[in-house]
Amino acid sequence: MSEKPAKGLGMGLQALLGEAKPAEAQPRSGVRELEIARIRPNPDQPRTHFDEDSLKELAESIAERGVLQPILVRPDGPEHFMIIAGERRWRAAQRAQLHAIPAVIRDQTDEGLAAELALIENIQREDLNAIEEAEGYRQLINRYGHGQDEVGKLVNKSRSHVANLLRLLDLPQSVKQSLLQGDISMGHARAVLTAPDPAALAQEVVAKGLSVRQTEARAKAVRKGTGELVLTEGRKVDADIAALERQLGDMIGLKVQVANKGQGGTVSLYYSSLDQLDMICQRLSGEPI
């Protein structure tokens, strides 16, 4: 008999160790067919942009195969429900002209707690863009009184990741729009944020096709800063490696350290809780988060 994973480790680590049950074997108790007209979206949903082409593809898939993954809702009055997670599926189901959709009902008597849980659940979804994720963090801080450390623990991300995304909210609207449209990356956005005129530098990035490294150098030049090496926690790191570490950290939400030695090297991920370790294992094993 194989040894069970230590208590406190979630499904991601179990999947990585080969201990998790197949997805189809998980219990589906509580799944009900709900009329779409009785369901409404969550006004605190952090996602504000739904890609039309992606939504159309999902609607076509739902029309052919149905909704494969139930949405998550909570009661909202005697006859209606509010979406906790799954608004994109709900929207696509309407386009596919479905009258009902499978849903898991989470009964929360405390509406404030339910709204907070819904916000956390939506933030943890991987398909939010950086601005939407940052807006979600700001809601958790301003509306529910959480600090950045606590927010990081709630969503299984590092405090630095939360802080870096919150800084994006200080960008001019034009730069935010460029980020949302994919004209610039999050690494670009972080770099232009350090420039005296972020909007002007963002325009230059798009016009000249600057890389993140070039953008960082340009921002330093504007501030009259120089140097090819940066100091990171006592390590002398090549500026390109430092930029790569920041980009990987932005993608994963954890601290990343790259040690390059000739043709090879190591990539280290740092976690501060078992939940963060479980999140890493979920991504490595392909399990849904």
| DSSP annotation of 23 | G
**Nearest-10 crossing angle of helices 130-142, 148-155:** 120
Residue from 3, 87, 126, 245 carrying the catalytic annotation:
87
Q: Are 236 and 229 in contact (CB under 8 A)?
A: yes
**Tokens read off for 10:** 């979630």
Which residues 6+ apart lie within 8 Å of 91 measured at CB? 50, 55
Which position has the token pair 């494969």? 68
Say whether 87 is catalytic.
yes
Instruction: Please give the Cα distance from 178 to 171 (Å, whole number).
Output: 11
Q: What residues are paired with 31 via a beta bridge?
A: 104
Q: Are 285 and 17 in contact (CB under 8 A)?
A: no
**Tokens read off for 110:** 């405390």
- Is the four-CA dihedral 8, 162, 265, 229 of positive or negative sign? negative
Q: Give the residue numbers annotated as catalytic, written as ranges.
A: 87
